[in-house]
Amino acid sequence: MTPVIRYGPVIVASIGLFLLSHQPNLRPPELGFEWQDKLYHAIAYACYGGTIAWALRVTAVQRAAWILVAGALFAASDEWHQSFVQGRFAEVADFLADVIGLLCTAAITWGWSVLRRSSAHREHRR
């Protein structure tokens, strides 16, 4: 797999999240409940974690760790960045929502890897 195909999505997602965070009056669609912005954060960072997972060719445990560490560092830098944008604020709750999204992706990719290994092991025993 070429480096562009492998690392391109995480680079594009990083730039996209940065640009979204730089919008002074970003207002996503209303979902009708109080913490909807946290849901948007979790979904965005779950997708971001997916791009990190795509880029890595390591063990499942290493992949989950990279998703959590690299994703959380980017999320923290993103919240810090927002503190400099007029009309935006850095919030710990937003960071926690980002990490929840990353945790979901880490768990899904790790679980998928376990299922694939288990399935391959069963096929090999036949």
Interval 38-91: pLDDT, tens? 999 999 999 999 999 999 999 899 999 999 999 999 999 999 999 999 989 899
The whole-model pTM stands at 0.88
- Who contacts 121 (Cβ-Cβ below 8 Å, separation ≥6)? none
- Contact status, residue 48 vs residue 18, Cβ threshold 8 Å: no
Which residue type, as a one-letter code, is found at position 61? V
- Contact status, residue 64 vs residue 106, Cβ threshold 8 Å: yes
- The residue that leads in pLDDT, 67 or 31, is 67
Q: For position 122, what pLDDT does the model report?
A: 66
**Confidence check: pLDDT of 12 > 70:** yes
Domain boundaries, the chain: 3-13+36-125
State CA 41 to chain mean position distance.
9
Question: 100-121 as b/e, with b when 16 or more CB fall inside 10 Å?
Answer: ebbbbbbebbbeebeeeeeeee
